[in-house]
Structure 1
Amino acid sequence: MQTEWLSVVSIGVALLLGAMSPGQSFVLVAKTAVSSSRRDGLATALGMGVGCAIFSVIALSGLHSILLTVPWLYKVLKVGGGIYLIYLAVQMFRGSHKSLQVDVAGSAEIGFRKGFGFGLLTQLCNPNTAIVLAGVFAALLSHHIPVYLYIVLPVLAFAIDTLWYAFVAYVLSSARPRNAYLHYKHTLDRASGGIMALLGIKLILSK
């Protein structure tokens, strides 16, 4: 029992380090938090957490093996995910030319549902996440894990991803980061779009 919980703690640390590494998820949450509202940034963070929990269930159920043994399915998922990231990049580029009005009423808000959807789709567009999670679980868990871990691990993955990106959204939606964004909006939007496009291309071309 003690060994199993030590494994869970180790998995939690690995998941936190993975969440903190820069990538498309960070770019999207940061962009949403500074350009829209704290509420929308938190909604995006929640979508990220749900997506990570879904991938955890997939990894635990062994579906990652299907992705590895059926190359064309894995490729289709990667290409689809990459295209979605490139679509987001195009939207960021197009939005860089538009002025942004942000007031107390939150006129620039995209809405909770849309923010959540962006977060969920961005997380799910990268099938490599399921492979990474499966690798972490395989390395740190025994072959015969207790049934309760099939619940604990997805909940843990959800909590870590959601809390980390909620922290990012909370910090970047504060007055100083938002004012800096409004001042350099054109440059920052184009930079975010460029990074997102590169991540999409990298996902499509990755083996």
Structure 2
Amino acid sequence: MTLAAFLAFALLSLFAAVSPGPAVLMAARTGLTEGFRTGALLAAGIGAGAVVWASAAMFGLNLLFAAAPALLWALKILGGGYLVWMGVKLWRGASQPFITADARPVPRSGASAFRLGLFTQLANPKPAVMFSAIFLGTVPQGTPAPVYAALLAVVFFNETVWNIAVARIFSLDRTRAAYISLKTIIDRSFGGLLALLGLKIAAT
């Protein structure tokens, strides 16, 4: 694999990471409501989920989806349903007070944040199809295993660092102050968008 092809893969996977979706939405809200540390751990879970989908693409999951469309359909229904459920939870809890202007609610544990990021990413099977296209377009047959490992490391880095940046931006005091004053509207917006993304995943 040439250096140019490797860099093309890295750039395409970065574009995939920054595209709006459930993972970015969850990173933003977690940074906003639970702070940067929890958001960063969630971002690591998102990165791990991206590696799972990229690994699946590497081993031909897209071919399996083509041969058994019902499998992709079932994954979309399950994943979309999970996101809709989370969106409904956010919507229903939107009117609950945030406590005070100078305190955050107790953040979830590191393991819980990582799992939430992982499950949010795995709830969307579309990255498997996307990574399949990236692999087919940039990675030649016969690429050595260490290079594949490096490509997966790039996927993890791009997804994790981008979502850490999102969590950081939304954890800033100015952003949080705006959230406190508009909590019900913002939470319902987050919940509605997450539910709509879940429905879109399930329907397309």
TM-score, normalised with respect to structure 1: 0.93
Q: 1:70 maps to what in 2?
A: 68
**Is the aligned partner of 1:143 residue 2:158?**
no
Quote how far apart the aligned CAs of 1:8 are. Answer: 1.4
For 1:32 and 1:95, locate their aligned partners in 2 and report how far apart those are by CA, in whole Å: 15
Quote how far apart the aligned CAs of 1:34 are. Answer: 0.4
Q: Describe the superposition over 1:141-182 as per-residue Cα deviations: whole angstroms up to 9, x where unpaired.
A: 212222212211111100110001011111210111111111
Quote how far apart the aligned CAs of 1:193 are. Answer: 0.8
Q: 1:198 maps to what in 2?
A: 196
Quote how far apart the aligned CAs of 1:107 are. Answer: 3.5
Q: Is the 8 A contact 1:20 1:164 kept in 2?
A: yes
Q: 1:86 maps to what in 2?
A: 84
For 1:106 and 1:139, locate their aligned partners in 2 and report how far apart those are by CA, in whole Å: 45
Q: Describe the superposition over 1:117-161 as per-residue Cα deviations: whole angstroms up to 9, x where unpaired.
A: 111001011111111001011011212222212211111100110
Greater than 4 Å deviation, 4+ residue runs = 102-106
- From 43, 46, 53, the equivalent of 1:55 is 53
When structure 1 is superposed on structure 2, of 94-103 and 27-36 the one drifting more is 94-103
- From 8, 16, 19, the equivalent of 2:14 is 16
For 2:65 and 2:100, locate their aligned partners in 1 and report how far apart those are by CA, in whole Å: 44
Quote how far apart the aligned CAs of 1:105 are. Answer: 7.1
Pairs within 5 Å for 1:34-45: 34-45=32-43
Quote how far apart the aligned CAs of 1:104 are. Answer: 7.0
Pairs within 5 Å for 1:66-145: 66-101=64-99, 106-145=104-143
Q: 2:155 maps to what in 1?
A: 157
**Alignment gaps of 5+ in structure 1:** none
SS in 2 for 1:186: helix
Q: Is the 8 A contact 1:37 1:108 kept in 2?
A: no
For 1:39 and 1:181, locate their aligned partners in 2 and report how far apart those are by CA, in whole Å: 18
CA separation of 1:96 and 1:106: change in aligned 2, threshold 3 A: closer
CA separation of 1:132 and 1:102: change in aligned 2, threshold 3 A: farther
For 1:151 and 1:24, locate their aligned partners in 2 and report how far apart those are by CA, in whole Å: 26
SS in 2 for 1:7: helix
Q: Is the 8 A contact 1:78 1:203 kept in 2?
A: yes
Q: Is the 8 A contact 1:82 1:125 kept in 2?
A: yes
For 1:167 and 1:198, locate their aligned partners in 2 and report how far apart those are by CA, in whole Å: 24
When structure 1 is superposed on structure 2, of 175-184 and 140-149 the one drifting more is 140-149
For 2:121 and 2:52, locate their aligned partners in 1 and report how far apart those are by CA, in whole Å: 10
SS in 1 for 2:157: helix
CA separation of 1:102 and 1:51: change in aligned 2, threshold 3 A: farther
Quote how far apart the aligned CAs of 1:63 are. Answer: 2.2
* Residue correspondences, number: 204
Q: Is the 8 A contact 1:57 1:150 kept in 2?
A: no
For 2:97 and 2:176, locate their aligned partners in 1 and report how far apart those are by CA, in whole Å: 14
Quote how far apart the aligned CAs of 1:108 are. Answer: 3.2
